[in-house]
Amino acid sequence: MLERLPLGRDRPWLAYGCTLLICLISFAVRMLLVSALPVGYPYIAFFPTVMAATFIFGIGPGIFAGMLCGVVAWYCFLPPAFELKFSHSVLFAVSFYVLVVVVNIVLISSLQRMNHRLIAERERNRQLAERGELLFRELQHRVSNNLQVVSGLLALQMRDISDEKARLAIDESARRLGLIGRIHRQLYSPHGDQLQLSAFLEQLGADLIDSGGKPGIALHVVVDEEVELPAEAAVPVALIVAEAVTNAIEHGFAGRESGQILVRALATGETLEIVVADNGNGLPPDFTIERSDSLGLKLARMLALQLSGEFGLSSDVGTIARLTLPLA
């Protein structure tokens, strides 16, 4: 409501009419107080009127109210009553009234101009924020597209390479770039907000199953809705989870077209634990992650260390990949 003041700027006749009505009400109130107030308080009911008129309807109606109330008070309540005569006491009272009215009108109008400037500045800031958010999302969109293009170029380049190890390395790089490109748009917020881990892992799991080429494998995500992930940790966590899920699809379910993968995240105190468990073939009996020459597992361990966490593999019924991260 305060931001809409003064009222009646587009309908001045209404503003001046309401101001006249307020002046009449204040005159009626002052007449009722004649017997209760001494002679020396002719303007006591009119100062609030001038302030209210200026505050609600602006400087023009405020000046109008000040002049009208001043003349009425002079004529009706300054002795001798109902006569417009000059004297030292009348001149002093009128001068005091004019001084107070002018100060009030100037202060109120200045405050309203400052309020309007603040409103205009806030609107400009809102527009700049919207523009910044739009540019940020456009940048994220372009980065995601560029990553997809690089992934596609690597896949094309792989066709001309005969060395099997080189082909596998380029294929792995293309796959990881493609994964980052697909999920990049949801990783960052222009406001620095944290990611809701449940929705993030569900989208990531759906992308991995689609790209794995085995639609019979079911992936389930169990995450507390309140668990959130810092945006700067999103890419490393995505790559680690993607490595675990991809290994389950390629190795855990090798020779199989169906299976179950469970992705579970649990926050306990200041620690976040993400577990990827499958009911596949499990790990070889002599497997140790420290001696593994898998580039993906080495990358997962390195990324976990960058996040001050740990990544490990174990075998029970199938394979269990466990990522432990500090939340603080």
Range with lowest mean pLDDT among 85-94, 98-107, 187-196 = 187-196
Q: Is 130 exposed, middle or buried (0-12, 13-18, 19+ CB in 10 A)?
A: exposed
In sequence order, what are the beta bridge partners of 195? 229
């456009």: which residue's tokens?
Answer: 138
Residue 314: pLDDT over 80: yes
Integer Cα distance of 225 and 244 in angstroms: 22
Residue 189: pLDDT over 60: no
CB 306 within 8 A of CB 283: no
CB 266 within 8 A of CB 312: no
Quick count: other Cβ atoms within 10 Å of Cβ 295? 14
Please report the pLDDT score of residue 68 as a whole number.
94
Residue 213: pLDDT over 80: no
What confidence tier does 187 reach under pLDDT thresholds 50, 70, 90? low
Please report the pLDDT score of residue 155 as a whole number.
79
pLDDT in tens, 243-262: 898 888 888 888 888 889 99
Residue 64: pLDDT over 80: yes
Higher pLDDT, 141 or 189: 141
Alpha helices by DSSP H, listed for the chain, are 12-32, 47-57, 59-77, 88-158, 164-183, 197-212, 234-247, 295-306
Cis peptide before 284, with omega less than 30 degrees from 0? no
Q: Tell me what the mean pLDDT of segment 230-244 comes to.
A: 83
Nearest to 43 by CA among 122, 126, 120, 100: 100
pTM of the predicted protein model: 0.55
Please report the pLDDT score of residue 299 as a whole number.
86
Q: Average pLDDT, whole number, for the chain?
A: 84
Range with lowest mean pLDDT among 63-77, 85-99, 179-193, 293-307 = 179-193
Q: Tell me what the mean pLDDT of segment 73-95 comes to.
A: 83
Residue 190: pLDDT over 70: no
Please report the pLDDT score of residue 10 as a whole number.
83
What confidence tier does 1 reach under pLDDT thresholds 50, 70, 90? low
Residue 104: pLDDT over 90: yes
Higher pLDDT, 188 or 240: 240
Tell me which range, 30-34, 101-105, 279-283, is most confidently predicted by mean pLDDT.
Answer: 101-105
Q: Which domains does the chain have, with CATH numbers?
A: 2-128 (no CATH), 194-326 (3.30.565.10)
Please report the pLDDT score of residue 192 as a whole number.
54
Residue 69: pLDDT over 90: yes
